[in-house]
Amino acid sequence: MRLVRLGLLVCGAALFLWLLATIGPGAVVQAFADLSWRLLIILVFPFGLTTLLDTLGWRYAFRRDTVPFRALLGARLAGEAFNLTTPTASMGGEAVKAWLVRPWAPLSEGLPSVIVAKTTITIGQALFVVVGLVAAHAALPSDSLVVRGMEWLLVVQVLAVGGFVAVQAGGALRGSTRWLQKLGWLSGSRLESVTQVNDELAHFYRREPRRLALSILFHFLAWLIGALEPWLILRWIGLPVSLAEATAIEAFSSGIRFAAFLVPGYLGALEAGHMAIFAALGLGAPAGLSFTLIRRVREAAWTGLGFLSLASLRAQAPPPPKNPSSARARR
């Protein structure tokens, strides 16, 4: 998998450099000049608000509120920074989040919470793509390749999320655990931990419909607020677009990230996808590339903040609670 991710990174970098050479750096420099001091606003808003909403979505993925919101926010920033900069297919950061909240929630609760949150954020994304499809139909011809691509991405998302939720809620992960046990790959404390995660997931989906609905709602609202970013950026670089067009751009962008989750940082995929939808909307491919690079500056700033949060949480967090069984064993 590391070799695959490395190969995708190299291909993405090559595609990015080719697109930049084709368009020319002049258009990108001009876009940053037009944005000027407003780049400072883009660094904070609306992404700061979407991060707060996504953190609330993760909070309600727990069965109970045991982790302080500030710790959840820091752990989320650190995990997302880890996802963007390491070859883990956007999953290594989820384990980092669960590990960072151990002082307040054991791994038997933290790991199920990040799995549930990953599921609910994808459900919220699918709902947002539905909104984006409506907006795309209003802004583009119905036979547009962009619209058709969004429709297929929505179908894939619905099937993937539906199957994943059914597996978690039905306790099917327990069957996988039994097979791993038979093969000798799980035993002792590892088996007990995986079983606890399976039980926690099944319990959450069956007995916590309110928290599940709130988690989906906050993630969906985060996706909706995210549509303000292309709307503001494009207006400030001299390309005023409607909210419907901005929503279509954001929905298509989220679909690209879903499809290209194996590509580190979605390098090359986002640039090419944005250039395609910008061309389809009549905004021009150079504007699509400029928009992507402006976003990458904001992304780099928040990634740096995420690693600062990682260091801070590791230094300030209280020690994790002791395991009673291990304490009895020592006595």
**String of DSSP letters for 186-214:** --HHHHHHHHHHHHHHHHHHHH-HHHHHH
Mind listing the pLDDT tens digit for each residue in 30-53?
A: 999 999 999 999 999 999 999 999
Q: In the numeric block, which tokens belong to residue 31?
A: 């876009």
- Statement: residue 241 has pLDDT above 70: yes
The predicted pLDDT at position 295 comes to 97
| Helix (H), strand (E) counts: the chain | 16, 0
Residue 273 φ then ψ, to 5°: -65, -45
- Statement: residue 185 has pLDDT above 80: no
Average pLDDT (222-240) is 96
Mind listing the pLDDT tens digit for each residue in 68-80?
A: 999 999 999 999 9
Mind listing the pLDDT tens digit for each residue in 106-145?
A: 888 888 899 899 999 999 999 999 999 999 988 888 778 8
The predicted pLDDT at position 154 comes to 84
Distance of alpha carbon 222 from alpha carbon 48, whole angstroms: 10
- Min mean pLDDT across 186-195, 247-256, 257-266, 308-317 is at 186-195
Half-sphere exposure of 119 (CA within 13 A, CB side): 26
The predicted pLDDT at position 9 comes to 87
User: Is the peptide bond preceding residue 46 cis, with omega within 30 degrees of 0?
Assistant: yes
CA dihedral 29, 229, 53, 107 (to 10 degrees): -40
Confidence of residue 317 (pLDDT cuts 50, 70, 90): low
